[in-house]
Every structure is written in C-alpha cells, then in structure tokens.
Structure 1
C-alpha cells in the first residue's frame, strides 16, 4: 500500500528500472538475431526472422516510451527523472523473486521468458528453464516512513499499486498538491518522436498513462489485447514452432553469450568474460556510447528549454543508434578463447555518474567533448560496415552538439 509521496516516488523509480531493464533485454535479443541472407537461414526463414526482429524492436521502442512516461509521472509529483539501473544480470532480491532479468540471445527459452515477463495477472504461465525465480523475498522487520520496495508477481501488479498510490494520495493531499498541473519539465511525443508519451497534469492523465503502459504490455485489463507485447511474443512463438517442426535445426540467432561481462567476474558467478581483443574493444566502445547517451537523455528530462530538449533528444537517438550498430557486430564476434563457439554481446554497463549536469550552460560542451573522444576511439578500433554506420551516427550527434546540424 502506497501511503506517502516518497513511497510513490520510490515505487515509480523501481518501475523506471524495470522498463529500462526490459528494454535492454529485448534489444540484446534483437542484436543477436540473424538477418535475411545470413548463414543458416532459408529465404522463407529469413523473412520470418526479419518480421520477428522488427516486432521485438518495436516492442523495445515502446518500452522506451514507457520509460519516458514513468519519468513524466516522477517529475509530475516532484521526483527526479531516473535512468540508472543495476548492471546485468540483476542480483537476486533486487527486484521481486519472479522478475528475473538477464541478457540472453534470441532462442526459445528467451522468448518464453519474455512471454512470462509480459503475462497478464491471472495467467498461470511458468517461466522458462534458466530463468528460475530466486526465492528471495523483500521484506522489512517493521514498516515505517522509510520508502521500501514491495513484492509483486507481475509488472501489471506493480502498475496497479502505482495507480492506487496516485488515487489515494490525490484524495488525501489534493490533486493539485500531488501533481504539478502545468506539466513542466516533462517530455511528450511531439518532442521526442516516440508514440504515446503524454504530459501528466492531473490525476486523470496520470491514471491514463499508467493504464496505457499496462495495456501495451499485457493487454487490456489483463485480457491479452491483440497488439499487446504479450500477444506479439506469443504470435512469434507460434510461428517459430511451425518452422521448427519443418526444420528441427532452425537457429534464428547467433550464439551470443549468456550474461556477458567486460570485466573479470567474481569467482563462482557464471559469466562470459569478453576477452577476445576485437570483441573487447567493441564492447568497451558500445558501452561508452550507451553511457553517454544516458547522460544526454537525463539532461533532456531535466531542463526547461524545449528547443534544447529537442536537440539533446535527437543527439541521444544518434548515440543510441551508434551503440546499436556496434552491438549487432558484437553478437557475430567470438567472445573468448575460453568459450569456443560462444559469441560476444553488449553488456549495457551503466556509468556511476550519468545524471543531470547542473551547470546547464556547459552541459552541451561537455557532451560534445565526450562525443569527439568516442568518435576518435571508433576510428581506431572499428572497421568495415560497422565503422561506417557508427561513425555516421556519431558524426550526426557531434553536429547536433556543436550546432552545425539542426534537429529534424
């Protein structure tokens, strides 16, 4: 039960991390997927995998929009936008026991896990092998005024508790006291070019935003709407099984690592440490660009100038595309001599300081400085088509940040 503003901010912050984690998990699967014409796929199989890739990429984009919506909800009640998250794989107990978040390539178990994560509340679907619940319960000895995370079985139930919190607090504090009615500091669809990101200006718009997030994930009222994430993942699984029945050797993805890391793992924890030099350079650069993108995105949510917000948002998109192009290549590179037959993968390492830069007049110059460093590193370690794609996107970001390119 959410009874205070601080508890609501705490719970929304967890929702932001859930959305961010799901987004990264879905993108990792997309990066590992083969493209039409690559080895091991017939023409018909290539067409099917390309449809699935586009479907999951669209779901990932909707998760980006959900993350933006949650940040609007946070800002509306006086919280700060939140783009931080734990590094992968998320430690047991950080989220509720049933919310297992890992980086795994696109295979049947990963797909079944995605279906489980997006399942309606009344569903009796079990999670896939390899994603077993930790059994760790989050509880406190005595409930007081310190915000604490409550357990929930599904992501939909998390949003139900958030909706309850908005409703009860608006009644107790007053709607205008709880929610800043002008919607200042928030982003919206016309500004960020992502669908369904409204401003939150009152209880009605807050509840509508929460309902939209929930329905896009699991379906209308938990019933599994045709275009929900849950239903789209299930449709992929149905088609996959039909293809596999005709071809038992069907493999739609490269053997990207399960739980890759870019630093030596702690002894006893099963991780794939990326040590092959080419892959190690790629994952270092992909993570560095991703971290810079998070910093630019956090700044976008923290300033009031709409023109500057639009420019920074466009720059963050270019940085994201640069990182993605390297991440696709990573899934096709050997990870380590210690793990023959296993390819590398993006790890989405989060920098320790990726939040708002309070010296706003200097922020763009700081981002430009970093983008130029990243461009120089890309020229040094990348080659071929991946270099062309990444450098084009980095060049676009640099042009936006130095003022030589206007946002579209």
Structure 2
C-alpha cells in the first residue's frame, strides 16, 4: 500500500470538523490518480496480442485504482467538499515523487514494462505496512519511517465515525455510480456507515488483510499481484503454506521482445514542432486532458457524464498504443511514450 508522510495521518487525527478533511481527501484523490499513468504505460507498452497474462493483472489493478479514486471523490462529496481534478497541478510531472510525500527515495516515471519496474517501483508503491512473506526467494524492503495510505484511510474512517452525523451533509445528487464498476464497490455514499464500508474496499484491495494476501472477497491485493509478475508464478491456495497461499501456481511467461522500446519519460517538447509525431503526442495530451475535465464534471454535479469519460478512456488507449509503435525522431531504437501533460483550454 502506498507509503506516505506521517504528517497526513496526523492531520486526520487532529481534524476537528469535516471541513478539515477536505484537503486531505483531495490529496488522496491525487495520489490514487498518480499511480494510474505509470501502470497504464506499462500495460500499453506490450506489442499487440502478446503477454495476455501480464496484461490481465495490470489491467485489473488499473481498474481498481480508478475505483479507489472514484470512492475517494464520492466520500469528499458526501462530506460536503468538492473534488478538483481538471487543473495542471493535479497531474504529476513525471518522473517525480508521488503526492503526499510517498517514500522519499522512490521516483516514479513513465516507462515500458519490465520485471525491474515491477519490483523497484510498482511493488514499492503497493507494499503493505507488514507484507506477508509468501515467498522465500523474494521480499521487498520495508520502510518503517513512513505510514501507509491504508493507515491514512483508517484514520479517515475513525474521524468520520467520531465527528460526522449519521446522514452525511453532502448533496446526494453529486454521488457517482457507473455500470463500469460493480455496484457493490462503487455506490452512493449517504451515511457514515456507507463511507466506512467504502474505505474498507480501498484498503483491502490495496493490501489485503494483516493475515492474508486476499481481501474478504478472495481477491488478491495489489502488492501480491505485482509480486506474481515479478516471480512469474501465480499465487494460489496452498494449505501447507504459513498464510494459506504460495507462489506455486502456473507459470506467468514473459518475453522481453514483446515490449515496445518506448523512450522513458517522453515530453512533448522533445518532438519537432509541426511533425506528425508531435501531432500524435498532442492528440494524446488532449484526450488525457479531456478525460480529467470529464471526471471533474462527473464529480462536481454531473454524475451521468461518467459515460462520456469512459469513451475517452478508449481513445486514450488507442492513441497510446499508436505512439508506442512510432519511432522516436532522433532517438534511434526507441519509440514514443505517452506524456500525460495537461492542456488548459480557454
């Protein structure tokens, strides 16, 4: 689970009124979003019709990060706040530290898929407070000086229980649902109990439980799914293992030749003005900005606009895949990576 500066947990603990939680939940929305471009880029860096097993794992995690971002926005709305999504400050300038002071030594960039990226970045992002040692061959390093985003969400739960009324004060019409997500996972948050249960979804999907790598629904938490990719073995039920699971399932094959040679941390200014390559990057950035603008509208009073944003997501994928197949001018042997730069429109 994402490791953050302790000051954010302390700020929740010291909150005296619901309004004190508004900027903290905004931080959480920004952090949930910040993981999505790196994960998406790794997903889209594969050549067409290859590495289906790895794609499936990363795709499932991306969808859940989108869900977590949506839940956090619904909670902020339910408490009476307003999510802010469509502005340049919402978008990290990759490569960068992630929001909320996440793991000071961790720099997250926009890169093609590799086992090292999974181990050194993705697993570092998703590491639980106390990762279960399910494999004798690999265990990520702990960073004890940081708190996890799970602890942050638990503090939000406790503070809502402590100071919020049973019926939350936000406008119910601002709550967002979508057929894109299971209605048991993304649902309107009207009460204190709704908010607490929704936060449990985020925590368990991210890091499992303290005694198991799976959540209450039997779904493997993000950290352990990424560890599957690093070890190239499926995590399966194993009655003889200490926690009931081991990486003794079917092999997950990987061929590095199936990854596009995408240039890391591409920026639009690297492409010649007026070139077709620059035009494609601009198309990508416009689609990305349209997506954020659409999400802002969705979570600020137009919940039905979520259907428009889903269409933009597919456009973004197609543009990204086209970039990944396009040679990078002046950088022999590389193709163009997505840039995730916010375009402000008048």
Q: Are 1:201 and 2:201 matched, yes or no?
A: no
Q: Contact 1:106–1:252 at 8 Å: present in 2 too? A: no
Alignment deviations for residues 318-377 of structure 1 (CA, whole Å, 9 cap, x no partner) = 12211210101111212230x3222211111123469xxxxxxxxxxxxxxxxxxxxxxx
Q: Are 1:228 and 2:221 matched, yes or no?
A: yes
* 1:81 aligned residue: 83
* 1:262 aligned residue: 268
Q: Contact 2:327–2:334 at 8 Å: present in 1 too? A: yes
Change (3 A) 1:256 1:229: same
Q: Are 1:213 and 2:172 matched, yes or no?
A: no
* 1:95 aligned residue: 100
RMSD across aligned positions (CA): 3.0
Change (3 A) 1:248 1:286: closer
For normalisation by structure 1, the TM-score amounts to 0.65
Alignment deviations for residues 230-279 of structure 1 (CA, whole Å, 9 cap, x no partner) = 2221112222799xx9999744411212211112xxxxxxxxx3449333
Q: CA deviation at 1:299?
A: 1.3
Q: CA deviation at 1:17?
A: 0.7
Change (3 A) 1:259 1:217: same
1:2-401 aligned at under 5 Å gives the runs: 2=12, 3-4=15-16, 5-36=18-49, 46=50, 49-84=51-86, 85-89=90-94, 91-92=96-97, 94-98=99-103, 100-112=107-119, 113-123=121-131, 125-126=140-141, 152-170=146-164, 174-176=165-167, 179-180=168-169, 183-188=172-177, 191-195=178-182, 196-221=185-210, 223-225=212-214, 226-239=219-232, 250-263=256-269, 273-275=270-272, 277-303=275-301, 309-310=303-304, 312-337=305-330, 339-352=331-344
Q: CA deviation at 1:66?
A: 1.1
Alignment deviations for residues 187-215 of structure 1 (CA, whole Å, 9 cap, x no partner) = 12xx3422310211122111111110111
Alignment deviations for residues 299-324 of structure 1 (CA, whole Å, 9 cap, x no partner) = 122226xxxx43x2222111221121
Greater Cα shift, 274-283 or 3-12: 274-283
Q: Secondary structure at the match of 1:260?
A: coil
Q: How many residues align?
A: 297
Alignment deviations for residues 17-38 of structure 1 (CA, whole Å, 9 cap, x no partner) = 11111111111111111233xx
Which has the greater radius of gyration?
1
Q: Secondary structure at the match of 1:255?
A: coil
Q: Contact 2:34–2:99 at 8 Å: present in 1 too? A: no
What is the rounded CA distance, in whole Å, between the counterparts of 1:261 and 1:240 in structure 2? Answer: 35
In structure 1, the gaps of 5 or more residues are 37-45, 128-132, 134-150, 264-272, 355-408
What is the rounded CA distance, in whole Å, between the counterparts of 1:20 and 1:34 in structure 2? Answer: 25
